[in-house]
Amino acid sequence: MIRYGNKDQIILNFGEILWDQFPDYKRAGGSPFNVSVHLHYLRHHSYLISAIGMDHDGDDLLQLINDVNAPTQFVYRNNKKTGTVTVHIDENNEPSYTINENVSWDYIPATEELLTFSESADAFSFATLSQRSTSNQKSITEILNSLPISTLRFLDLNLRPPFVNEDVIKFSLHHSDFAKFNESEWTQISHSFQMETPYHFMDTFNLTGIIITKGGDGCSFYHRDGTKIHEPAVQINKSTGDFVGVGDAFWACFIHHTLLKTDWETALKKSNQYAGWVAEQKGGIPDPNKSLLEKVI
């Protein structure tokens, strides 16, 4: 039997939980939700900070979290509809998204209980999409202010037009230790900010490390000490999965190994391995595979 949540580290994950609606099926999703569940599978005390509606979709999401024995104490409920996203899959099996607005996860509160609990966090992961509402911008600012200096902060630059706000991006980078871009996001942001190299980015925003994921070409990691590593992707069966949440799986595994102080090359290799397994599955959080988890932990 797989045991979950038995590490000492406490990880908080702020942002959206929703239903990804595919042409023929639906799956629970949202980048912060995916990351939170994967960290739970990787045996951390991983807490999602989000909100769902008082509706059947919200009931089903809450039941799903309970089914994997993940914590739900910071998954709040409100009178907005539970979030949904329509997923479009192109001829290359790559997804694009239509994200509904003014939904429950746009109104995540920073309660006194949460702010007190945040004082014990070892890591905090967040993303840019979840800050599209002024309500969430206020909440995330309060949470960041409550975190200890020792808390490692991990940012996912998940740019989803039209929800791209340069002020939010700058704020988020200034409050991060590590940041993840996919290749197109890196091209867009580096051009917009007129920064040619990741090292320039790290100097400007006082980042410790940057990861650029490149799909089938693997990933590149840059550390402020001058370290640069390119790790090739693992070979996968592209016909069995849908590529949704692959970057989230990678990010969760990288967070896991950063907290364990694993050497960077091993951390990247195992993160790619975990991401490759998810790429062969349907949806962003497939049922855990015990033998695979033992290899990447």
CATH of the domain at 96: 3.40.1190.20
**pLDDT, position 4:** 42
Q: Is the pLDDT of residue 113 over 80?
A: yes
Q: What is the pLDDT of residue 1?
A: 30
Domain tally for the chain?
1
Asked if residue 2 is part of any domain, the answer here is: no
Burial 253-277 (b: 16+ CB within 10 A, else e): bbbbbbbeebebeebbbbbbbbbbb
Q: Is 25 within 8 Å of 241 (Cβ atoms)?
A: no
Q: What are the Cα distances from residue 178, in Å, to 23, 156, 193, 208, 222?
A: 35, 9, 18, 6, 10
Q: Six-digit token pair at 30?
A: 């949202």
Helix, strand or coil, per DSSP, at residue 196: coil
Residue 296 counted as domain residue: no
- Looking at the predicted structure, is the pLDDT value of residue 53 above 60? yes
Mean pLDDT score, 97-104: 92
- pTM here? 0.93
> H helices then E strands: how many in the chain?
10, 13
Q: Angle between the 246-260 and 31-41 helix axes, to the nearest 10 degrees?
A: 50
Q: Assign 3 a pLDDT band (cuts: 50, 70, 90).
A: very low
Instruction: Return the pLDDT at 239.
Output: 77
| Mean of pLDDT values over 227-255 | 89
Residue 297: inside a domain:
no
What is the pLDDT confidence band of residue 7, given thresholds at 50, 70 and 90? Answer: low
Range of the domain at 150: 10-112+121-290
Residue 138 domain flag: yes
Asked if residue 3 belongs to a domain, the reply is no
